[in-house]
Amino acid sequence: MMQGQSFAYVRTSDPLRYAPEDSEYVIPSGAAYQLTVSTEERTALVSGITPQVISIDRISVEVSKTPIFAVFVDTLNLGLDSLNLSLDASQRFIYPVEVAIEWRGADVADFNPWIESRLEPVTSFSSSIVDFFLLPSQVFPESDTTPVDGNLHSWSGVYAVPVTEESSPLPDHELKITLLRSDEQYARFATSRNDPVRREPASNLQGAIGFVGAISVDSVRVTVSNQ
């Protein structure tokens, strides 16, 4: 149901996928919705508000002129007394690449937007350990970013490109930059989907386990080089 109007979903050629009968309907920003899924045994439902469309207005990429020294840790074993520390590590160099993104803030009433930002090299370079100390992605309330020009918000993140020698040039590569806008329910899902202590991400359904939400996405691909 969207703004009081009901839409039926029908099975597609894929037996596990359903799609709305009315594929021409354009979902507006700030619209209240409710999704109900019923079987013979149970009913699951979820409700929310659609976010305002997000658009990447400006990006800037800053690459270090020279690589910096880094230690790559593959395994970390701690003894029961926390003193038995063994590292399976290799010494290499990395080019830190800082990316700044700017976008217009949301102005939908009764909606507290959250943002997920992602810096994703098309060719994966760094390990999750390196990424932990940098900031290639983040989930945060949009209100945490201070507008820099009227309603223009900004975020900066860093990812790493490893090289073998201090004299090695930065490999040319393609970078996918993504911004997502949704609500706090999506933020809980996004921050819990890779949690190693959880069996599954946070659910927002009543009567079932899973996640359904309205998300606005914009992405752009750029070529990064040290030219």
Residue 191 has a pLDDT of 94
Find the angle CA(173)-CA(177)-CA(180) to the nearest 5 degrees: 160
- Between CA 141 and CA 28 the distance in angstroms is 21
Coil, helix or strand for 139?
strand
Q: Regarding predicted confidence, which is higher, 148 or 168?
A: 168
- The domains of the chain, with CATH numbers, are 9-49 (no CATH), 56-66+95-202+211-224 (2.60.40)
Of 92-101, 132-141, 217-226, minimum mean pLDDT range: 132-141
Asked if the model's pLDDT at residue 42 lies above 80, the reply is: yes
Asked if the model's pLDDT at residue 57 lies above 90, the reply is: yes
pTM of the shown model: 0.84
pLDDT band, residue 87 (cuts 50/70/90): very low
Residue range 172-189, pLDDT digits in tens? 999 999 999 999 999 999
Residue 91 has a pLDDT of 57
Asked if the model's pLDDT at residue 73 lies above 60, the reply is: no
* Backbone phi, psi, residue 33, to 5°: -135, 160
Q: Regarding predicted confidence, which is higher, 77 or 46?
A: 46
pLDDT band, residue 126 (cuts 50/70/90): low
Closest CA to 120 of 178, 192, 186, 190: 178
Residue range 197-214, pLDDT digits in tens? 888 999 999 999 999 999
Contact of 114 with 51, CB cutoff 8 Å: no
Coil, helix or strand for 189?
helix
- Between CA 136 and CA 62 the distance in angstroms is 14
pLDDT band, residue 69 (cuts 50/70/90): confident
Residue 80 has a pLDDT of 38
Q: Regarding predicted confidence, which is higher, 89 or 174?
A: 174
Contact of 32 with 3, CB cutoff 8 Å: yes
Residue range 133-156, pLDDT digits in tens? 688 999 999 999 878 778 899 999
